[in-house]
């Protein structure tokens, strides 16, 4: 078999410009010189775009409702880079006076309960009534590869095209509580951009949901029937934090089971201690596919906000949340500074080896590392 390269040869040309032999389909005509196709002016503009804009530019864009600027600002805030921390702090501080005018709703539930479909149904219902909705969807990160799919937008195809909606998926990373590390700051930026309702979708993998409860006004727990016995769904902890329990996928043959589950949950909710807000949590049913019951869910949220605002509990709760997040920020910064300290990295490597070999106890090694860090900080 003849090789392909024997067919692809330069064909000599006659003086009249015609080929000296019959051309094959693989023959390549001689080309002509052309100018460099690179648009240097455009390349320079793209290079400038890769640089982080200043704080004033980002904040101005956020306040004007520029979603591109909002996304870039959230990216800066979520960055773990130390060079971005000061910039992120300035962005959040500048947006803070323009924030606080939305209703923050936390939505949690086990994987497969239909959180993304429910959020799209609720979000489109709200945008159709004239509200601007921001969705902060948290995608679970792999503990092995540390990657995330960030595929929530593919499940919200109607909402992602809605001009009154904004969807921002973020990886959960190593953060417990089912929220991303900087979800709190992202809420502030979205509020400054003029969004009326902020929906925070948690990972919902059975970890502590205290984090999302401490940054939202209304905490909604999604449930489905047939996922285990009812006692499993009435466990304390998560139920005590929920302001409403919504049994999703209440359609078709599942309607009757969902109605029975609603009765059981309403009965169970009355056994929990009274809330400081005076609110009595309720159980509801809905179908994210047919949109049946979605309006009732929003009416319940509005009723809660109205009662909490009238009793001033709404503002009291947000004040308590601000204090909580101040302490959490201190803890986060101390942890980050400790592990990123150059001297600690070297000591930590040796201490980890010694602990693994049984040469030193974990507690003594931890004390040694902390003493070394504090000594360096005081010097």
CA–CA gap between residue 53 and residue 59 (Å, rounded):
10
Domain residue spans of the chain? 50-98, 100-313, 323-378
Tell me the per-residue pLDDT of 245-275, one tens digit each, with 9 for 90 and over. 999 999 998 999 999 999 999 998 888 888 8
Residue 120 pLDDT > 60, yes or no? yes
Which of 3.30.2310, 2.120.10, 1.10.150, 1.20.5 is the CATH number of 50-98? 1.20.5
User: What's the CATH class of domain 323-378?
Assistant: mainly alpha
- Alpha-carbon radius of gyration of the chain: 28
Tell me the per-residue pLDDT of 138-153, one tens digit each, with 9 for 90 and over. 765 443 333 334 445 5
What's the pTM value of the predicted model, to 2 decimals?
0.77
Lowest mean pLDDT among 205-209, 211-215, 280-284: 205-209
Q: Which residues contact 246 (CB under 8 A, 6 or more apart)?
A: 118, 220, 221, 222, 223, 283, 284, 285, 286, 293, 297
Strands (E), 8-144: 103-108, 133-139
Same topology, domains 100-313 and 323-378? Answer is no
Our CA angle for 255, 261, 266, nearest 5°, is 125
pLDDT value for 176: 45
Query: What is the per-residue burial (b if ≥16 Cβ within 10 Å, else e) of 18-31?
Result: eeeeeeeeeeeeee
pLDDT value for 10: 40
Tell me the per-residue pLDDT of 304-362, one tens digit each, with 9 for 90 and over. 999 999 999 999 999 999 998 888 888 888 888 899 888 898 899 999 999 999 999 99
Residue-averaged pLDDT of the chain: 80
DSSP per residue, 347-378: HHHHHHHHHHTTSS-HHHHHHHHHHHHHHHHH
Residue 42 pLDDT > 80, yes or no? no
CATH code of domain 100-313:
3.40.50.300
pLDDT value for 106: 93
Count CA atoms closer than 13 A to 55's CA, side-chain side: 13
Tell me the per-residue pLDDT of 279-295, one tens digit each, with 9 for 90 and over. 999 999 999 999 999 99
Lowest mean pLDDT among 59-68, 115-124, 206-215: 206-215
């Amino acid at each position: 078999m003849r090789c392909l390269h024997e067919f692809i040869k330069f064909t000599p040309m006659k003086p009249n410009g015609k080929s000296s032999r019959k051309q094959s389909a693989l023959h390549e005509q001689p080309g002509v010189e052309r100018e460099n196709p690179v648009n240097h002016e455009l390349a320079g503009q793209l290079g400038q775009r890769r640089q982080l804009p200043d704080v004033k530019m980002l904040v101005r864009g956020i306040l004007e409702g520029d979603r591109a600027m909002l996304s870039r600002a959230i990216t800066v805030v979520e960055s773990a880079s130390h060079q971005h921390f000061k910039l992120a702090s300035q962005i959040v501080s500048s947006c803070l006076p323009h924030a606080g005018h939305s209703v923050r709703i936390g939505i949690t539930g086990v994987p497969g309960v239909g959180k993304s479909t429910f959020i799209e149904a609720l979000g489109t219902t709200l945008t159709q009534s004239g509200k601007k909705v921001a969705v902060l969807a948290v995608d679970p990160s792999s503990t092995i590869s540390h990657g995330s799919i960030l595929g929530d937008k593919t499940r919200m195809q109607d909402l992602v095209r809605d001009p009154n909606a904004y969807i921002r998926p973020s990886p959960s990373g190593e953060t417990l509580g089912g929220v991303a590390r900087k979800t709190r700051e992202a809420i502030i930026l979205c509020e400054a951009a003029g969004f009326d309702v902020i929906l925070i979708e948690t990972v919902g993998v059975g970890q502590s949901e205290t984090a999302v409860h401490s940054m939202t006004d209304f905490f909604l727990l999604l449930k489905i029937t047939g996922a285990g016995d009812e006692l499993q769904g009435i466990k304390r902890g998560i139920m005590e934090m929920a302001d409403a329990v919504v049994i999703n996928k209440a359609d078709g043959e599942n309607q009757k089971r969902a109605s029975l589950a609603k009765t059981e949950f309403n009965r169970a909710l009355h056994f929990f201690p009274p809330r400081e807000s005076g609110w009595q949590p309720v159980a509801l049913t809905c179908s994210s596919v047919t949109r049946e019951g979605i309006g009732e869910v929003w009416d319940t949220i509005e009723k809660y906000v109205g009662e909490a605002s009238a009793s001033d509990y709404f503002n009291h709760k947000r004040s308590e949340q601000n204090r909580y997040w101040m302490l959490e920020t201190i803890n986060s910064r101390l942890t980050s500074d400790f592990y990123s300290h150059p001297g600690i990295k070297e000591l930590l490597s040796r201490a980890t080896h010694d602990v693994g070999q049984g040469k030193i106890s974990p507690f003594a090694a931890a004390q040694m590392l902390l003493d070394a860090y504090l000594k360096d900080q005081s010097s």
